[in-house]
Structure 1
């Protein structure tokens, strides 16, 4: 069972960690992270294929590498198969990213997947790659990358 506080906890972590006013929330489901970040004064666009979602800024489409770079930060809360594209897009546009992966997109076990994502970020040129744990139940580890 996922922790119901996960969106607020991640939003507060992001707000404390990054000064990014414009955020892309990739594979953001109904837009709950968007809602939490918007309450904290951020401008967020959620990308997901869901047609039913909260009344937030929402792009009902798959996020791709060709998306215009109109954000200062890329994030994903349990983004499933979009985790890798978040890192690749952020690297392509030299933007920071933060993801809380729940599972791999290739059946890799969780801990090796987390190591793989950190290495992917390093391989794509991120100079600061970190791992944090949010104070919540369930998959709570954050992988983040930035350029120093």
Structure 2
């Protein structure tokens, strides 16, 4: 069973780590991460094709590389098949990203999938790619990339 605190824990990590006022939440499901980030003072737009969602800023469609760049950070909490596009869009627009991956879109097991995502980010030009572990049950590792940060030890807390 998924940790019910996951959205609040990820949101808190994001606002401590990034000063980004405008955030795109990709494959954000019902918008629970959006809700948590909004409570913390961020302006968030969730992209997902769900029909039922919370009353948050919501684009009911798939996110593409052609989206206008109207954010300062891209995030995904268990974004499944949208994980790669988060990294590719962030690289294209030189924006930071943070994802908590779970399932790969190609059947790859979890640990190799995380390593693949970190390698993809480096290949896309991110000078800083690292991991952080959220204090929760389940898939709790955040893979993040930033063009302005210097690398830190994996699992290190916010600066």
Q: TM-score range by the shorter chain?
A: over 0.9
After TM superposition, the structure 1 = structure 2 runs for residues 86-105 of structure 1, keeping only pairs within 5 Å, are 86-105=86-105
- Matched position secondary structure for 2:28: coil
After TM superposition, the structure 1 = structure 2 runs for residues 127-138 of structure 1, keeping only pairs within 5 Å, are 127-138=127-138
Q: Which runs of 5+ in 2 are unaligned?
A: 149-159
Aligned length: 148
Report what 1:57 is aligned to: 57
Runs of 4+ in 1 over 6 A off after TM superposition: none
Report what 1:71 is aligned to: 71
Q: Which runs of 5+ in 1 are unaligned?
A: none
Per-residue CA deviations over 1:36-60 (Å, capped at 9, x if unaligned) read: 0000000000000001100000000
Q: CA deviation at 1:65?
A: 0.1
- Matched position secondary structure for 1:38: helix
- Matched position secondary structure for 1:130: strand
- The RMSD of aligned alpha carbons is 0.4
After TM superposition, the structure 1 = structure 2 runs for residues 29-68 of structure 1, keeping only pairs within 5 Å, are 29-68=29-68
Residue 28 (1) aligns with residue 28 (2): yes
TM-score, normalisation: structure 1: 0.99
Q: CA deviation at 1:103?
A: 1.0
Per-residue CA deviations over 1:123-145 (Å, capped at 9, x if unaligned) read: 00001101011000000000000
Per-residue CA deviations over 1:64-98 (Å, capped at 9, x if unaligned) read: 00000000000000000000000000000000000
